[in-house]
Amino acid sequence: MSSRLPPLNPLRAFEAAARLGSVSRAAKELTVTHGAISHQIRKLEASLKVTLLERGARRVKLTPHGAALLPSVSAAFGEIAAATARMTRPSTGGDLVVSCVPALLSLWLVPRLNRFTEQYPGVRLRLSGSNDPDDVFDSDIDVCIRYGQGSWGDCWVRHWSDLELFPVASPTLLNVRPLRSIRDLADHLILHADDGREWQTWLAAAKALELGKGPHHFMGDARLAMEAALHGNGVALGDTMTASSLMAKGSLVAPFDLAVPAVDSFHVVCRNEAKAAPIVSVFIDWLFASRDEEDARAEVPAVARRSQRRGRRAKTA
């Protein structure tokens, strides 16, 4: 059997056109002309002595020969891209110490650690839950993820994510004591993750500040407040980063269609000298890439929810 491979450029043109279903889109992706893509595909077909694509008015369609070839070609280009990425990635390995806000650590970072480990198997992580500002300057800590205003003195700081806050409760609690209106909060225990400021912000937006005079528990941080809510102890303030997975599982529900911007936000912080280390840089890059990927994935459901709310308001108008 001959080991001679077809020419590379025609294979790239075929793979892009077949994957995208369009010669024009393939031309745009590969930054060449429509005619160049068509020429390369014809060259490949001539080389293989088969027809690979049926050209339609709008989209191209794979022939049986094209359908048989595409998976192998796509896999091969994927392997080449992965190998190139490994070669150009900074050399990383060793121990990395990360200090993170407890709720974000438990509910966002830990569930996604396998993705980081798959990309950087040589990195050994040591994680600790804290929002202590002094940790930022601890020489034993490489990276901190902090909740605050972003002012941590002489260090490297980059804003990571803003938050929206909204009440959350367990379905079990709401089955026993429903929250049909904001006024029903008067019958519930309020769970605080801070000194009460964030609930005051939400109640002010709801025009219900007087409800802040009811029974309260102060839990010290958002992870404890969320745990208390999960066990049906009361109503906590969830946020768009840490509560989303619990809501997706049905463990918590948001009874009201009102969210307010949090006063503080998440920041990635580290000592200036630590930022220069490749192992620190790749972890920080991964944090921001993961955030961007999930923001893009969440945008479609968010648009759908806004459309549904507009539809409900139109029906009740």
Shared domain for 128 and 269, answered yes or no, is yes
Shared domain for 16 and 148, answered yes or no, is no
| Confidence tier at 317 by pLDDT (50, 70, 90) | very low
Shared domain for 156 and 291, answered yes or no, is yes
Residue pointed to by tokens 């150009």: 88
Shared domain for 18 and 31, answered yes or no, is yes
* Residue 2 domain flag: no
Q: What is the pLDDT of residues 19-42, one digit of tens each?
A: 888 888 888 888 889 888 889 989
- Cα 123 from Cα 217, distance rounded (Å): 40
Residues in Cβ contact with 226 at an 8 Å cutoff, skipping those fewer than 6 apart: 103, 107, 168, 193, 236, 238, 242, 243, 246, 252
Task: Pull the structure tokens for residue 224.
Answer: 């404890």
Shared domain for 256 and 269, answered yes or no, is no
* Residue 101 domain flag: yes
What pLDDT score does 314 carry? 39
Task: Pull the structure tokens for residue 14.
Answer: 């075929």
* Residue 230 domain flag: yes
What pLDDT score does 87 carry? 61
Shared domain for 243 and 207, answered yes or no, is yes
Percent of the chain at pLDDT > 70 equals 88
Q: What is the CATH number of the domain that holds 70?
A: 1.10.10.10
Which of 240, 261, 282 delimits the end of a domain?
A: 261
Q: What is the CATH number of the domain that holds 133?
A: 3.40.190.10
Residues 27, 29, 30: CA angle, nearest 5 degrees: 65
* Residue 80 domain flag: yes
* Residue 125 domain flag: yes
Which of 30, 63, 88 delimits the end of a domain?
A: 88
Shared domain for 14 and 31, answered yes or no, is yes
Shared domain for 103 and 127, answered yes or no, is yes
Yes or no: say if 146 and 152 are a contact pair by the CB < 8 Å rule: yes
- pLDDT at residue 306 above 50? no
Shared domain for 223 and 253, answered yes or no, is yes
Shared domain for 170 and 253, answered yes or no, is yes
Yes or no: say if 211 and 185 are a contact pair by the CB < 8 Å rule: yes
Q: What is the pLDDT of residues 175-204, one digit of tens each?
A: 999 999 999 999 899 999 988 899 999 999
Structural domains of the chain, count: 3
Q: What is the pLDDT of residues 208-239, one digit of tens each?
A: 888 877 789 999 889 999 999 999 999 999 99
Across 62-76, 102-116, 301-315, least confident range: 301-315
* Residue 312 domain flag: no
Residues 297, 301, 303: CA angle, nearest 5 degrees: 110
Overall average pLDDT of the 61-78 stretch: 86
* Residue 315 domain flag: no
- pLDDT at residue 17 above 70? yes
Q: What is the pTM of this model?
A: 0.64
* Residue 232 domain flag: yes
In which order are the strands placed within the sheet that holds 260-261?
216-218, 190-192, 235-239, 164-168, 260-261
Shared domain for 145 and 293, answered yes or no, is yes
What pLDDT score does 301 carry? 38
- Domain coverage including residue 25: 8-88
Long-range contacts of 148-151 (CB under 8 A, 24+ apart): 148/264, 148/265, 148/267, 149/264, 150/265, 150/267
Shared domain for 108 and 37, answered yes or no, is no
What pLDDT score does 82 carry? 64
